Structure 1
Amino acid sequence: MQGIRNIIFDLGGVILNIDYQRTVRAFKDLGFDHFEQLYSQFHLSELFDHFETGKISPEQFLEALQQQAPPHITREQLLNAWNAMLLDFPLARLQILQQLRQHYNLYLLSNTNALHYDAFNKILLESRGIPSLDTFFDRAYFSHIIGLRKPYAEAYQFVLDAHALKASETLFIDDTLPNITGAEAVGLRTLHLPGPKTILDIFKPLH
């Protein structure tokens, strides 16, 4: 951490526990026999990219899912299946963020979408009594709000420029390797945090 003044965190898999397979199973239970294939098709068609960068609305996204769903499936069932991957905010991780903020400028940069945004803030409120992740950061940036997503250089640069941060003094933490590579391309110092490692393993002296 020598020379580090700022830390930019990823959200899913770093602060928020997620399990993509729960969403896969939930869609299969609704009759989507080839959800992984559909998910890949949606990626290729840029549907998810557009949803994560706010170019299409939640209603348009759910309509695209509805068109692939069996006739009896409701929007609420689709929404619940889509949000099934979102699990919990471990208290110890939130406490680490509170401690780190006493020593560093903290930022969040997350690829997410409007539906997940609402869902994980609800989880945070109901489980911890905290209405927003903004509480833990100097500023939180979400792809569907800023219109930029990792691993593209513009997303990282957006955060750096917004706060006049030096990349060489800024650590970026993410569980996804392509996002780490993207961050390194703009000069950020990086820490790849694949599961089962957590930020508690990295910042042991603080807890």
Structure 2
Amino acid sequence: MTTPYRGLILDFGGVLTTQMKLNGQAFERSLGLPPGAYFDALGKHPDGVRVYADLEVGRATQEDWNRVIGGILGIDPTDLMRRALANLRPEPAMVAAAQRAREAGVKVAMLSNSFGLTPYNPYEALGLYDCFDTVILSEVEKVRKPSPAIYQRTLDALGLAGPECVFVDDHAGNLPPAEALGIRTIHHTTTPEATAAQLDALLAPA
């Protein structure tokens, strides 16, 4: 007997890793920044929003991001992405769920809007590359979630159709384009253990 799903697509930050919010808060505390300052630099300051969007599709380098975000925050920009992600860790329950899926014959992909790859490669640093049959990064693809194109490229890389796959992301806005391709989606808002249990139930052999 086989599972009705043949593919699993997992987001990186906040799904395969510990929560991005907790990581950012720890970064703020480590530098004595006001609460929310880092998130405002990324999501509210126009220069920060612009450079992050450009980084994700390869129009800006990680060093560009370091310089711009460091300037907004008034801190040393040297290797800033590495320092900003210093408290990010693999999420054991989700990594184990991915491993169980592969052992059951399900193809597993990581689909991530990129943090940049040089000088700091977070995917390599966290040791997650070997967990997947394919890795799709927006920086490499020159298109980012929620553009429908990046979901289709993920399906193409897996060699599967949308209805054969399950996709997990912690951002609700990233789900509708996947659903439009027939992909079953899970909005990761609960504990990693709860989401892993959902995956086990969906991907268990029928």
Scaled by the length of structure 1, the TM-score of the pair is 0.78
* 1:167 Cα offset (Å): 0.9
Alpha-carbon displacement from aligned partner over 1:156-199 (angstroms, at most 9, x marks no partner): 01112334321111111222211112211222121222132444
Code of the residue aligned with 2:61 in structure 1: it is: S
Alpha-carbon displacement from aligned partner over 1:81-103 (angstroms, at most 9, x marks no partner): 4214512342x433332221132
Q: Is the 8 A contact 2:63 2:79 kept in 1?
A: no
**Which residue in 2 is equivalent to 1:111?**
113
Q: How far apart are the structure 1 equivalents of 2:18 and 2:124?
A: 13
* 1:51 Cα offset (Å): 0.8
5+ residue gaps, structure 2, are none
Q: Percent identity?
A: 25
> For 1:39-54, what aligned pairs fall within 5 Å after superposition?
39=42, 40-42=44-46, 45-54=49-58
Q: How far apart are the structure 1 equivalents of 2:41 and 2:115?
A: 18
Q: Secondary structure at the match of 2:178?
A: helix
The range that moved more, 147-156 or 8-17, is 8-17
**Which residue in 1 is equivalent to 2:85?**
83
Match of 1:202 among 168, 193, 198: 198
* 1:27 Cα offset (Å): 3.9
Scaled by the length of structure 2, the TM-score of the pair is 0.78
**Which residue in 2 is equivalent to 1:152?**
147
Q: How far apart are the structure 2 equivalents of 1:203 and 1:171?
A: 8
* 1:65 Cα offset (Å): 2.0
Q: Is the 8 A contact 1:28 1:35 kept in 2?
A: no
Q: How far apart are the structure 2 equivalents of 1:8 and 1:162?
A: 11
> For 1:13-92, what aligned pairs fall within 5 Å after superposition?
13-24=14-25, 26-27=27-28, 30=31, 33=34, 34-39=37-42, 40-42=44-46, 45-70=49-74, 73-76=75-78, 78-90=80-92, 92=93
* 1:104 Cα offset (Å): 0.9
Alpha-carbon displacement from aligned partner over 1:52-92 (angstroms, at most 9, x marks no partner): 1121111111111233243xx323473454214512342x4
* 1:141 Cα offset (Å): 1.0
Q: Secondary structure at the match of 2:45?
A: helix
Code of the residue aligned with 2:182 in structure 1: it is: G
Q: How far apart are the structure 1 equivalents of 2:69 and 2:199?
A: 40
5+ residue gaps, structure 1, are 125-132
Code of the residue aligned with 2:168 in structure 1: it is: I
Q: How far apart are the structure 2 equivalents of 1:46 and 1:15?
A: 26
Q: How far apart are the structure 1 equivalents of 2:114 and 2:64?
A: 16
Distance 1:69 1:115, change over 3 A: farther
